[in-house]
Chain A
């Protein structure tokens, strides 16, 4: 293998704003160009969507506990106003108040099936029913997830990037991304693996890349012939689906020249133990870096990042909080007792800890916002404004395991389609709104359309009432 070469010629499409002014500096991104795709040139990263999922609910009011999450009043958000509400977790996003759309009042439409976390995780990006069989922690979604829909429609040559922070438990690992009913996509929890899939050959010299490309073309042709032969035989429905996925997964070489993270960061990503609970925050930041770079390079337009297991039992250490002591297991904190189940000793200050963990997660969300804000799209806007990122949850509240008032916190306007800079309770004094309508709104804002070219208004289970959430749409939205 050739050693990595760095820094390719300056790209006109994207450049980094503020290089050297942020913690990591990112001096590497003075260049972005694509090279060698046989799939044809990608459109610029005009629109995209990224979904982060924190587990175990948030420390919002309920079950006799005080509000620690949402701002006091709905309405327009300002940096100063949000910062002044320092006792509320969303104040972590104050620097980006004008980019934020904090949405309360949404609910999942369907009950879980034996495990609140599994049922919530399976619905949170699908708005679909939870399987009858399997059930419990093994239950699955009966529909496609929104990240898959976006990738399928806007970037069909690549599946959504599906990342995961932390160790996967045997009880309930990934829950977010579905190709379709009961077809759960595994999450990658090692950022180095994700990074190498994206950039593994990017540092090689052109002759070596060309040799690899030609070799892969030859091998792929052979494998495609073999797959075609298999697919032409008598197959069951299930085998045909699986082999079809295999066939369409055979890709020719793409190399994202110039899309490298700085060497020091690369080394850190390569060396970090992604399974260590102590690395949870740093690994998440690495995932953020990879997602942001992947979008900026046109490698992906859709991604998910699941933060922790389905019932996240990470023992967090939060700098500056409680002297940096290691906290009890997060899942137990969300139960307020030293138990993942029904009874145990109380965890003193558990709701406050939960609030601190909410802040930590919102801080990690802010890190992604910062990274996406550092890129400028060809239009001259910050890249963040061309798409949308969201942090949500599998539950509304940890103790009750409710599916009501599950937070959906967005940043980015999708080119002016979303009414950012506000906190809204979409109930408007009425009932909770099923979150499929929110997905319809986001899908349409990000550029997905139905077969007839109209806005998407029917995502999720077919039994759900369609339509949008008007509160999310900007008054002068170009696409609505």
Chain B
């Protein structure tokens, strides 16, 4: 089969480009006065909080989880599935607050969802009973008590009479709006639907007085919300409300204690799964189609990756060293042949030990290997790992005329235009190709191979990690090199920071990231330990104000 076609396009960096390796944010930027590491010395306490919104909007996922917990449901109600989607932000995640806003379409969606939730309550005696349990019998005491209790939960802060009075007035019109409903129920659902459209529900309130340096110290309830959305993507529970009201969260010990408690909750596991699914684009595995395999092989490959991540990170409390190097996985009768596994497997995924000379961690699984278009796709594999595992800065590819590819193996052809001595050397020869070529021991299905186009596979390469140049031969050694690198540990922490805090990293984060990278590498930090470290930093307790509106 012919494999040569010398057509190049500008989708990927191929020719001359000027790259930097080692993270999206420089660890030391003397030209940036805001960089606390500008003097070359970084301590975690040197970090300073990011300039962020005083009113970050809930993401659609957070909205769903919040409704679940606000109404005591077993599952999210599914109302946000038809919401107008949010534009992509600059992180790998869907909660980048810099792009979350309320547009006319989304307002209409919120309105409809609130009305739908109210209608559901009118037909769900159990849910309504949970909301109204223990209320006084007479009016206006009953409505006032409900408003105070529900709005405290919905707004995630104490409420005053000034807050509740407009809702009580609205409830007094309830029989007009719901003439067919019992008056007590009508009053409740009227308050509920208005609360769900309130900005105090849709935004987290992180407003406050700034000090002379522009820092806003978050109060207990603001910290409770920040903590619950960081760890659970949802509202605080009763215990967290209690801790906030007791003033425990503004102390280091109180905050740590709550974080430790919350990390043991299944909601934290859901958040950890969601993080890896988004970061490693596991949803894309669903699109994999392999000739000769069942139609739903993509779904199985995703399930394999998810089971492996659960095993490593949640059941065994591991970190990225295990995630990137563990020589086992989960297979069933459909995927075992991709590994060359012999034996009897059923339809259910089960743990299987793999040849440690061939397989190491998540990126030697067929889901990752087969999900990049273009045969073995060493460039795509290399770009993905550079961007999402090593956080390498890959600058824009240049405009160019299509060059001619030459060589027998895929590696030779790519090297003919991007390798050492070519004008594409900076990005490709030093960054993309060395990370992509070791995976040439796998075909485009993710099966082990030793030959490419009749020639022995050359899977050796070198990469300049922060610690220095490291050589490796094949995917297992590459995985081990990545797992040992500061680049990978910092990148993982950086992505957790972006997902946990719902914002892109900023220069003031650098000291915390540096510390986390070092500790993660030396101590094999687990995910939970990384999260605790982020919460324990001064990035978490404060917010820096953004530029004020110009006065005219």
Spell out A's residues near B (CB within 8 Å): 1, 111-117, 134-136, 138, 158-159, 168, 170, 173-174, 184-190, 192-193, 196-197, 200, 211-212, 214-216, 218-219, 222-223, 225-227, 230, 233-240, 242-243, 245-246, 248-251, 311, 313, 329, 332, 335-346, 398-401
Contact = CB atoms under 8 A, between A and B. Distances in A.
B395 A114 contact: yes
Given A338-B375, A339-B377, A340-B374, A242 B3 contact: no
Interface string B167-183: 10010010011010000
B9 interface: yes
| Residue of A189, A214, A223, A311 contacting most chain B CB atoms (<10 Å) | A223
B550 A115 contact: no
Contact of B11 (A174, A219, A341): A341
A343 B179 CA distance: 68
A245 B101 contact: yes
Contacts of B375: 338-339, 344-345
Contact of A344 (B5, B103, B114): B5
A111 B399 contact: yes
Interface of B is mostly: loop
A68 B432 CA distance: 37
B532 interface: no
A158 B107 CA distance: 12
A215 B177 contact: yes
Interface string B64-89: 00000000000000000010111110
A305 B314 CA distance: 43
A126 B85 CA distance: 22
A161 to B, nearest CB: 9
Contact of B7 (A114, A235, A337): A337
A139 to B, nearest CB: 9
A338 B2 contact: no
19 contacts: A116-B9, A170-B284, A184-B88, A188-B85, A196-B82, A223-B198, A226-B166, A233-B207, A236-B53, A245-B102, A250-B107, A251-B108, A337-B7, A339-B374, A341-B11, A341-B377, A342-B7, A343-B413, A346-B2
A75 to B, nearest CB: 34
A358 B55 CA distance: 45
Contacts of B55: 230, 239, 242-243
B7 A219 contact: no
Given A200-B112, A340-B373, A242 B11 contact: no
A343 B406 CA distance: 11
Interface residues of B, number: 81
A225 B374 CA distance: 56
Nearest to A136: B396
A336 B5 contact: yes
A246 B190 CA distance: 22
Contact of B397 (A114, A168, A399): A114
Q: Which 10 A-B pairs have the closest CB atoms?
A: A114-B396, A339-B374, A236-B546, A246-B102, A249-B107, A215-B177, A249-B104, A346-B5, A341-B12, A342-B8
Contacts of A338: 373-375
B374 A344 contact: yes
A230 B199 contact: yes
| Residue of A214, A242, A346 contacting most chain B CB atoms (<10 Å) | A242
Given A138-B90, A218-B173, A236-B546, A335 B9 contact: yes
A190 B190 CA distance: 30
| Residue of B104, B115, B167 contacting most chain A CB atoms (<10 Å) | B104
Contacts of A223: 194, 197-199
A184 B87 contact: yes
Contacts of A236: 51, 53-54, 545-549
Given A170-B284, A239-B53, A251 B9 contact: no
A116 B87 contact: no
A345 B444 CA distance: 13
Nearest to A340: B373
A216 B176 CA distance: 12
Contacts of B3: 345
Contacts of B98: 238
Contacts of A240: 549
Contacts of B193: 215, 219
Contacts of B334: none
A364 B349 CA distance: 44
Contacts of B85: 168, 186-189
Contact of A343 (B119, B166, B207, B414): B414
| Residue of A115, A184, A196, A218 contacting most chain B CB atoms (<10 Å) | A218
B231 interface: no
Contacts of A136: 394, 396
